[in-house]
Chains A and B, each alone.
Chain A
Amino acid sequence: MMSALASPTMLIAAMALFGIGGVGAVLLRKSDRLANYWSSAFALFGSVTALVFAVSMLASGQTFVAQTTSDSFPLLSFALNIDRLAAFFLVTISIVTFFCSLYGIGYIKQYYGRYNIGYLGFLYNLFIVAMLLVVTSSNGIFFLIVWEIMSLASYFLVAYDRHDPENVKAGFLYLVMTHIGTAFILLAFILLYVHTGSFDFTVIQAAMPTVPAHIKDSVFLLALIGFGVKAGIIPLHIWLPAAHPAAPSHVSAIMSGVMIKTGIYMMIRLFLDVLQPAPLWWGIVVLVIAVASCVLGVLYALTEHDIKRLLAYHSIENIGIILLGVGSALVFSALGMSGLAVLALTAALFHTLNHAIFKSLLFLSAGSVIHATGTRNMEKYGGLIKLMPATGLFFLVGSIAISALPPLNGFFSEWLTFQALFQGIAQTDFYIKWLFIGVTAALALTSGLAVACFVKAFGVTFLARPRSQRAEKAHEASAVMIAGMAGLAVLCVAVGVGSSWIIAQLQTIAQGVLSAGDHATLVTVTSGHILSIAEGFATVSAPLLSLLLIAVPLVVWTITRFGINRSQRVTTGRTWDGGTDLTSRMEITSTGFARSIILIFRGLLKPSLQHSVEYEDAASRLIPRSRSVTLSVQDVYRRYLYRPVFIGFIHLSHWIKNGIQNGNINAYILYILVVLLVMLGLVGVW
């Protein structure tokens, strides 16, 4: 039974289901309803099939390899290699796409009559297939083809709601950035090909001892930039806060939940597997980038009042947390501490899974809110918990998970990351020890700020009173959308409670990637599901913690209800307002909530505060009619990094237009002559 489920037929079946879903949606494009149901249903079937295949692969522990080589076109070789790491990412992608497809059935209805639903269904299924192939490919050229398909499909999905010029602009920014990233990846693969004679990852890995160190270093830097763009690391992240909000919400959930993880997957695959052994400085570079991403990501999230941009910045933050694990694994691996490397990589993999689940949940919840209120501006929300109780509950679950509060899944992966960093402090020498101390402090700061940010996001959105007419008339999401969110919310709890078992499985994957063997085990799980790090350095029991967190409020409530307040009657009346009418204008806003924190970090965020007053009588300026405060934050990356580059390109373009491309045909032929002479000369020299 297991071998049948883990057979390649299942993977082919999954691909075929997505294919039927995509092509069928195009054929049924005349009917919005049919195209939606068809594409979503096949995406659901495809996701389940891929999930069953991946889970079976993980359970059986086998590796699936498929390869075809063409003698006529050797560069067009096709190669798949599904080991435990690839299977894990398949599981992650399939889980998220399943629930997003379910949610999409209801969400897509808002586009009926406005956009082509068949086109959306085709791109959506193509996007998922490309992601699945990205994490299973084992040949550089084949990888680049599916990577490009993934990027283009996601670009068209970002720009799908094309009536809004901002979405088109965001799509273009994404397209430019992703192709800059692809150019770097291409260069990395070409360098590897030149020195190993193959694009096949297995061959490259085998030939690695013969590759000079400076070439490996160059490949590392090129790949870090190339995959870093997709992952959204700072400072290559600028497309992410623009593109993720622009896409339909169930697509945003997939992009933020799993697409950016394909960049992480390739970093793990290359840096910790194919290019090993790696020097120490690779790990240090990754750690520095990780710290910048997690701290600045959460700070920028705090400044946002656009709910989807806020979530997008949190994706940058969480990518930073994942990279803390990857970077630590690289450092430990370079120092020969294979047990610690396994621990750090396990933490990174676990946070990858958790972030995929809770971030998808948050994007879907945000999508329901936007669908109900027609705006992404949190200042226009308020009081939605009364009108959208289910959505509010799911957003709260996602918020608790992303804030790393027990007993949900986010807590356990961050806890594990902390343990890896603590071990770094305890077991390394002076300089590396201080590096880990700094990194641990940064993660602690990030965690605190994340809690503050989600207190703001949940409070401003769901609590108090509605601050706009649209918010007053908001309605709960449809049943199928609730089902999509509910599934992910249940997973947040289930993965948290069952974290010890999952961590044990992920440890096996990490051992396989690092070729560490069973002896490299720092995480042990006792019979009581108690997770123990480094022989008792730290322990935690997810079931016990969950039980405690349920039992304590229950006991308090029972004592209060039946012990202390047994004879008291509860009456509900109006809130005391001190003689004034309580209105929504008295509520703390998103900007007001974040102001104090922004001012603490003003050196980094460069905020600007503008006060404006409108008077009843402009001439006398005695009685103000209204006062407003505008707090805005400069995008330092755009100003100090991208803008100078942009200006440089403009100057270069002018120079080319006026100097080289001057309209004189003689000059153009001269360029041809010079290039011809140089090329002929090079042929002679080489």
Chain B
Amino acid sequence: MNSPLLVPILITVIYLTSIYMHLAKKNNGVAGLYALQSVALVLLFVSSFLANPTVLLFLVIVVSIIVKVILAPRFFNRLVTRHKVKFTVSSYANTPVTLIVIMFITAFVNSDVFLPITDLSASNSTYVALAIAAMLVSIFLMVNRKSALSQIVGVLSLENSIVAFGIIAGLEQSALLQLGTLFDIFVWMLVATVFVSMVYRHTGSLVVTTMRHLKD
């Protein structure tokens, strides 16, 4: 990572978008935040590309823009429109409690307990911690939100955070693996879209608590 100013800004954007996803009241807003987070991630790739330009990495950037910045939010918005669930964002914890939990997660990640992991890249330890915090906050989004759509975004946000963590901690994977992961995400989005539509047809809702009736 050769851009000392850009990296802190981008990782902060990824972390903050994962927090704002908790606060967004509209599903479209969550999709927009994911698009913004994906743009930040793509810029991280661009930063890597400028330092070490390869054709494959360029391909990764192009595919990331197509899948993460354009297709994923578009699929998401279409789902919201089709099932008219624009405002059905509901969570278990209210906003103050949610923010307190996020604060604890962030503090925990920045504590000495996480030193062996954050020290993977000693010069970027603060940003490594932010990436880990973004991961855990994304998982917490899946725990806290009742809507299946929020959970899908949570998974995608978790994936963005993991990739960002890999880049910053110096554990960046090969470009071919990145392409494979992107393909995986693309297929997963298609399956999730079909799955969510089917669940909606059966239960008339996208609230995951109603899915327990599918058990039998």
Contacts and interface: CB of A to CB of B under 8 A. Distances in A.
B113 A665 contact: no
A212 interface: no
Interface string B179-216: 00000000000000000000000000000110110010
A685 interface: yes
Contact of A664 (B112, B140, B209): B209
A681 interface: yes
A664 B151 CA distance: 13
Contacts of B151: 665, 669
Contacts of B146: 666
Given A663-B215, A664-B208, A673 B139 contact: yes
Interface in A637-686: 662-666, 669-670, 672-673, 676-677, 680-681, 683-685
B20 interface: no
Contacts, number: 46
B139 A681 contact: no
Interface string B100-126: 000000001000111111000000000
Nearest to A685: B113
Q: How large is the interface on A (under 10, 10 to 19, 20 to 34, 35 or more residues)?
A: 10 to 19
Given A666-B142, A673-B136, A673-B139, A681 B211 contact: no
Given A665-B151, A666-B142, A680 B212 contact: no
A666 B144 contact: yes
Contact of A669 (B115, B143, B215): B143
* Interface core residue of B116, B143, B145 (most chain A CB under 10 Å): B143
A657 to B, nearest CB: 11
A358 B140 CA distance: 67
A482 to B, nearest CB: 59
Contacts of B116: 683-684
B139 A666 contact: no
A663 to B, nearest CB: 3
A665 B139 contact: no
Contacts of A684: 112-117
A662 B140 contact: no
Contact of B117 (A673, A677, A680, A685): A680
Contacts of A669: 139, 142-143, 151
A677 B143 CA distance: 14
A474 B212 CA distance: 62
A424 B161 CA distance: 71
Contacts of A663: 211-212, 215
B114 A680 contact: yes
Nearest to A666: B143
Contact of A662 (B92, B108, B114, B212): B212
A404 to B, nearest CB: 61
Contacts of B108: 677, 681
B2 to A, nearest CB: 29
Contacts of B136: 673, 676-677
A543 B146 CA distance: 87
A678 to B, nearest CB: 11
A666 B113 CA distance: 26
A677 B105 CA distance: 9
Contacts of B144: 666
B208 to A, nearest CB: 5
A139 to B, nearest CB: 33
Given A676-B139, A680-B114, 6 more contacts: A666-B143, A666-B144, A681-B108, A681-B113, A684-B115, A684-B116
The 6 closest A-B pairs by CB, nearest first: A663-B212, A684-B113, A670-B143, A669-B142, A665-B208, A673-B139
